[in-house]
Each structure stands twice: as C-alpha cells, then as structure tokens.
Structure 1
Amino acid sequence: MAHPLEEIIASADTAIVREDFDTLLEFYSEDAVLVIKPGMSVTGKASIRKAFERIAEYFHHSVQVQQAGMVVLESGDTALVLAKTVVSASNLPAVTRNATYVFRRESGGRWRCAIDNSYGHELLAGRGPTA
C-alpha cells in the first residue's frame, strides 16, 4: 500500500501544474520553507504563494511536475520523503531532481509540508566541508 503522503504529494503536483495556488497552499504548514533554488528559499505561506506565481511566470505557465519514485520514512508525527521529482516546462527540458521533503502531522491528523526542497543534496554543491 502506498503511504498517504504519496497521494498528498501527487495532489500538490497537480495543483502546481494547474496553478491552483489556493489549493497548493493547503499542503503547507504556516511556517513552511520552500527552496526556490540553491541559495534561495522563502518561509511562510504568503511568500511561498508569491514564489510559485513567479515560477509559473518564469516558465511561461507551462511547468509540469511528477514523481518518478518515492520513499517515505515516518517517525511519530514527522516524515521524511525522498523522491525522484521530474520537472519540465516549455523553456526547460525535463530534469530529474533527488528531492527531499519534510512533513509534520498536525493534531487533527493532517499532514502538512514543513520543508519543500526539490533540489535535495544539490544544496551542498560548492560548499566545503564543515567542522
């Protein structure tokens, strides 16, 4: 059986493609972080909405997102999702990203995305070792 988060992420992907940002924001926690690109992220639903609006414009309202594989690691009210996310647009050939998402289950049982990082470990590129 698929984990419920797989369906939630598929629904969020559909909302991105349709540019249904009202629906999309329901998937995020109030304090969520969205990685726009390495070195640039935003926090909070209002900023996330603006970011998705700008992304849609940049990609000529043609963004396509789908998952090509996913693993969910759950512990209590927290889940880490590792995914192969395929992103394309009319001005972007299909690229596959090794995405990482963090979800929290709220008191009512609903999962919300707290960290949306479609770039995964790519964020480490160009950084030296840390102590």
Structure 2
Amino acid sequence: MSWLLILSLVTALPPAPQSVQGFISTEDLTVLCAPQNDSPALCLGYLVGAVDQLLAGQARRPATRRTICPPANLSAEAVQTALLLRLGRDRANRPQAAADAIRQAVEAEYACPLGAGVRPGR
C-alpha cells in the first residue's frame, strides 16, 4: 500500500515553471523605450522603478562603496537617453535582463567620482 501512496505523490507533483513571468529582456526594453514608441509612460515607469531599486541598494552601502552618484535633478528621460545610447553602441554585449542593462547604463553615466565611491568593475 505504501508504494501506491509514493506513486500517487510523485505523479501528482506539478511541472516546473517554464520561465519567470513579468520580467522583460533588453530587447523588449529597447523596443519599449524607442523614441517612436506610442507609450513612453511604460518605458519611463519601468526605468523609474529600476533606478529606485538601484539607488535603494546604493543607500545601504557606505558612501565609499557606492558606484552610482546621480545628480539631484536626475530624470527618467535622462536615464532613457543614457540607456538607449549605451544599447545602441554595443549591441554584441547587451545583457539579457533589462534590469542589468539599466544598471550598467546608470553606473556608466553617473559613476561616482574617484574618492567618493568605488568605480564599477573595481
């Protein structure tokens, strides 16, 4: 009888999920943030959320370990411009996840000056 219980438990397990839903790729973000896109609010909203998360992580670090030092007047449009320029320059080395592309663009554009934090890649 125990073998029947084991068999029913093993066959009743749900299949593993195919992929995580709700996250977008760099290619999807590039299309979403393209200047000719009819819905710029979706792009800007995604960028604001991603940058907020990055800055929250930076705030938990000591000042000398921060890699991002944005200006006080940073705007979502400025991040969009930096992202599209970076993605346009280096198509071969695009990260797979959109959040990675945003992090790389923000770290490159708003890197902390020497002495204020750690430069990316060091």
TM-score interval, normalised by the smaller of the two chains: 0.3 to 0.5
> Larger C-alpha radius of gyration, 1 or 2?
2
- Structure with higher RCO (Cα < 8 A, 6+ apart): 2
TM-score by length of 2: 0.33
Q: Which structure dedicates a bigger proportion of its chain to strand?
A: 1
TM-score by length of 1: 0.32
Q: Which structure dedicates a bigger proportion of its chain to helix?
A: 2
